[in-house]
Amino acid sequence: MVSKTSPPQKVGPVRGRRDGFGKRPVYMAKTALISGITGQDGSFLAELLLDKGYDVYGIIRRSSSFNTDRIDHLYQDPHEKGTRLHLVYGDLNDSSSLNTILRQIHPDEIYNLGAQSHVRVSFDIPEYTGEVTGLGTVRLLEAVREAGIRPKFYQASSSELYGKAVETPQTETTPFHPRSPYACAKAYAYYITLNYRESYDMFACNGILFNHESERRGETFVSRKITRAATRIKVGLQEKLYMGNLDAQRDWGYARDYVEAMWMMLNTDRADDYVIATGETHSVREFIERAFGYLDLDWQEHVEIDPKYFRPAEVDFLRGDASKARRELGWEPTVSFDRLVKLMVDHDLQLAKQETEATEMQHVAVAKARWESL
Ligand code: NAP
Ligand code: GDD
């Protein structure tokens, strides 16, 4: 466990608190704990909270290779004074680690973003997905109770809950119809969060977030898969892109906007559940057309269908109505679909160019090595 003795840089709302190291000074920055800090949203949220002056603790899993790429730019040497980003080992499948972390950290806010978050993969590993994405939430909530603390709690709920949606647009009152093991696990997590709010008067919120993407999106989600492939095709690194269902339609926003909404939910007067969405829907086909078109490529020459990417049950259409969040939190999306596609393509084009340069250098090195061995 890392040390907690570093003084805060900026001061959030003032409060006193005990922790595992004895009585802390009365004037403290707020402390936040993020599960899933190494993921897309976790990395943006960590940035946001550090900017707001929080001490941020992130739970990371033991991995045989480094998996902190998305937060490496935020790294602070724990030996230095004033460190405000701390990484602690833990796992949503391991209650004892969660109990230890909460007993020692006493966060003011907890953001539960950790999950096996890939819908297609959840059909391959349904039981594991249920453990992490579903039961992981109750493990964290119970650890809060066992530590005897009263942090605010954010649960990363999902528009996947609507599944075979019974109305459009979807709001906080639209019934759920989950269509995957992932969505079933998220349904459990949603209801257990609500239950702890009602049973124990916890400040616990569900953010029902519609799809949100970015230059940090995992490369197997459809948006990033498309922008990575289109840009690699553009620079000649690959020829084909193999896809699943091009007719699926999603309400896609920009991840930076969405983590702001998470913070807003925990920093308002009353705990509640909110839909976060743009209110605009586009098909996967349109995403492809837009990304390839921006690069002056004809997508039909490069895209092929591989049935392995189809899902046993599909969510055909999602469109969210975020008017409650707009009205009560003042939240608005700031990035249009067009801008989202462009910013991801611009980012990935740079990556593809770097890849080309690296490949060329490798070729030169290999060629040189061959000559040297003659
Ligand atoms: P992501 O990039 O897949 O990140 C998931 C994070 O969870 C990673 O940091 C991962 O750690 C961590 N994790 C996985 N298993 C864990 C475990 N057993 N214990 C602790 N941590 C674990 O997901 P994201 O896109 O940032 O999404 C964040 C959350 O919002 C997820 O819960 C997701 O289901 C939900 N959500 C996302 C969207 C969206 O469109 N992005 C929409 C609605 C809801 P490793 O790096 O070690 O794998
Ligand atoms: N991943 C992927 N790969 N999806 C494809 C492909 C492909 O090759 N071809 C078509 N699709 C379609 C999927 O069938 C789905 O309908 C749509 O593209 C979006 O897929 P993903 O990007 O994998 O996201 P998702 O909507 O299934 O789930 C994401 O959003 C949820 C919020 O609604 C994830 O981030 C979830 O964690 C999140 O809860």
- The atom number, within ligand 1, closest to the CA of 42 reads 26
What is the rounded distance in angstroms from the CA atom of residue 116 to the CA atom of residue 119?
8
Residues 6+ apart with CB under 8 A from 61: 67, 89, 90, 91
Atom from ligand 2 closest to the CA of residue 242: 8
CA of 26 to the centre of ligand 2 (A): 46
In this prediction, residue 368 carries a pLDDT of 55
- DSSP H or E segment with residue 181: helix 181-200
pLDDT at 360: 79
Is 23 exposed, middle or buried, given 0-12, 13-18 or 19+ CB atoms closer than 10 A? exposed
- Residue with the smallest CA separation from ligand 2 atom 25 is 119
**Amino acid 4: pLDDT:** 34
Residue 245: CB within 6 Å of ligand 2?
Answer: yes
Encoded tokens for 71: 């937060």
- Probe residue for ligand 1, chosen from 35, 45, 113 as the CB with the greatest number of ligand atoms within 8 Å: 113
Q: How far is the CA of 25 from the centre of ligand 1 (A)?
A: 34
Strand pairing partners for 282? 250
Task: Return the ligand number nearest the Cα of 63.
Answer: 1
| Ligand 1, atom nearest to 36 Cα | 9
CB 57 within 8 A of CB 32: yes
> Going residue by residue through the chain (374 aa), what tens digit of pLDDT does each one get?
333 333 333 323 323 333 333 344 445 799 999 999 999 999 999 999 999 999 999 999 999 999 999 999 998 888 888 899 999 999 999 999 999 999 999 999 999 999 999 999 999 999 999 999 999 999 999 999 999 999 999 999 999 999 999 999 999 999 999 999 999 999 999 999 999 999 999 999 999 999 999 999 999 999 999 999 999 999 999 999 999 999 999 999 999 999 999 999 999 999 999 999 999 999 999 999 999 999 999 999 999 999 999 999 999 999 999 999 999 999 999 999 999 999 999 999 999 999 999 887 777 665 555 545 44
Q: What is the DSSP letter of 296?
A: T
Residues marked as catalytic: 158, 160, 182
Question: Cα(295)–Cα(323) distance, rounded to whole angstroms?
Answer: 35
Partner residues linked to 57 by β-bridges:
33, 86
Quick one: pLDDT at residue 6?
A: 35
214 lines ligand 2 (CB under 6 A): no
Question: Which of ligand 2's atoms lies nearest the C-alpha of 222?
Answer: 22
Tell whether ligand 2 has an atom less than 6 A from the beta carbon of residue 57: no
pLDDT of residue 328: 98
Nearest ligand (C-alpha, residue 218): 1
d(CA 287, CA 280): 13
pLDDT at 361: 77
CA of 117 to the centre of ligand 1 (A): 5
Q: What was the pLDDT predicted at 370?
A: 53
State both tokens at 28. 């403290």
Residue 254 alpha carbon to ligand 1 centre in Å: 16
User: 130 phi and psi, to 5 degrees?
Assistant: -60, -40
Q: For the chain, how long is the longest CA-to-CA vector?
A: 77
Report residues whose beta carbon is within 6 angstroms of any ligand 1 atom.
35-36, 38-42, 59, 61, 63, 67, 91-93, 113-117, 132, 156, 158, 209, 211-212, 218
Q: What is the pLDDT of residue 364?
A: 66
Burial of 82 (0-12, 13-18, 19+ CB in 10 A): exposed
Beta bridge partners of 253: 212
Which pair of structure tokens corresponds to residue 360? 């060329």
Which residue puts its alpha carbon closest to atom 25 of ligand 1? 40
Element (H, E) at 49: helix 40-51
Pocket test for ligand 1, best of 35, 37, 41 (most atoms within 8 A of CB): 41
Give pTM, 2 decimals: 0.93
